[in-house]
Amino acid sequence: TDFGYKQVKTEEKEQLVAGVFHSVAQQYDIMNDLMSFGIHRLWKRFTIDASGARPGNKVLDLAGGTGDLTAKFSKIVGANGQVVLADINSSMLNVGRDKLRDLGVVGNVDYVQANAQALPFEDNTFDIVTIAFGLRNVTDKDEALRSIYRVLKPGGRLLVLEFSKPEHELLNKVYDFYSFNILPKMGDIVAKDGDSYEYLAESIRMHPDQETLKAMMETAGFEQTSYHNLTGGIVALHKGFKF
Ligand code: SAM
C-alpha cells in the first residue's frame, strides 16, 4: 500500500538525517564557516534582529544544533527570560551545550531532545520560535509547522531561516555547481565525510521554494506571513504570526 511505502521512506529519511548529524556534529561549526564563507553569521544576525526578541521573552530555538541563535537570544531575553534549545540529535545537542557553557551562556538556557513534529511543550508557551537550517531535515514539515503553531503564544511569531531558491538563473546555476561539486569535496577533505555533504546539497535542492513554504505556513494556521530573501535568495527568512 501507499502507506507502507511512505512508512519505509519516512524511517529511511529519519535514519539518514540522524546519521548525518551524528557524523558532522564535531566539525559542524567549522564546516559552516568554511562552506558559507562565514556568511551564515550574517544570516543568523539578520534573524535575531527580525525576531523582535525582548527581555523576558520565552524563545524556542528549534533544531538549534550547536546553539548559535540560542547564544544570541540568551543575551537579549536576560534573567527573566528563557531560551530552550531543542534538537532531535544527541550529538548536536552535546556539542551545542559544551560550546555554550564554554562561552558562559548559562542560567536562562535549557536543552531538550525533541522532534519538531511532536514538541513536548504545553500549548501557548513561547513568544518566539526559530528554526534555522532545520526544517528541510524534518520528514513531515506540515506536522512540524502545526506543532510549532500549537506551542506559540497568541501574538507569538515563527521565524524559519532556510536555504531557498536563488532569484536569478545564473546564480542558481553557479550555486548548484557549488553545492553538488565543490561542497561534497570540501566535506570529504575537511570532515572526511563527503556523503553527509552530498545529502546536504540534495536536501537543499529538494526544499520548498519561497512561495511554497509561505503557503505551507498559512495552511498550518500562520497569519501575516512574509519572507525576505538573503544573498540573492540562496537563503530566505520566513516569518509568520499566531493570533
Ligand atoms: N540551527 C543550527 C544552525 O543554524 O546552525 C543547526 C542547524 S543543522 C543544519 C540542522 C539541525 O536540525 C541538526 O542539529 C539536526 O539534528 C536537527 N534536526 C533534524 N531533524 C530534526 C527534527 N525532526 N526535530 C528537531 N531537530 C531536527
What's the number of CA atoms in the CB half-sphere (13 Å) around residue 204? 25
The CA distance from 142 to 95, in Å, is: 28
8 A C-beta contact, residue 6 and residue 123 = no
End-to-end CA distance of the chain: 39
Q: For residue range 5-26, list pLDDT tens digits in order.
A: 555 577 788 998 999 899 899 9
Say which residue the cell 505556513 belongs to.
217
Q: Note the pLDDT tens digit of each residue in 221-230.
A: 999 999 999 9
88-107 per-position pLDDT tens digit: 999 999 999 999 999 999 99
The alpha carbon dihedral of 82, 63, 228, 215 has a sign of negative
Q: Is the CB of 21 under 6 A from ligand 1?
A: yes
For the chain, the structural domain boundaries read: 14-241
Q: Fold for domain 14-241?
A: Rossmann fold (3.40.50)
Rounded CA separation 181/199 (Å): 12
Q: ipTM of this model? A: 0.99
Four-CA torsion 35, 37, 40, 42, nearest 10 degrees? -170
Closest approach atom of ligand 1 to CA 92: 14
Q: Please count the other Cβ atoms lying within 10 Å of the Cβ belonging to residue 62.
A: 31
pLDDT computed for residue 8 by the predictor? 59
Q: Is the CB of 96 under 6 A from ligand 1?
A: no
**1 Cα: distance to centroid of ligand 1 (angstroms):** 31
How many H-runs (helices) and E-runs (strands) does the chain carry? Answer: 10, 7
Q: How many A from CA of 153 to the centre of ligand 1?
A: 23
Q: Whose CA is nearest to atom 4 of ligand 1?
A: 132
CB atoms within 10 A of CB 234: 21
Statement: residue 147 has pLDDT above 90? yes
Q: Is 115 known as a binding-site position? A: yes
- Determine if residue 210 is left, alpha or beta; phi over 0 gives left, psi from -120 to 50 gives alpha, anything else beta: alpha
> Ligand 1 test: best mutation among 33, 66, 89, most atoms within 8 Å of CB?
89
Prediction pTM value: 0.94
Q: Ligand 1 in contact with 67 (CB < 6 A)?
A: no
Which has more confidence, 162 or 5?
162
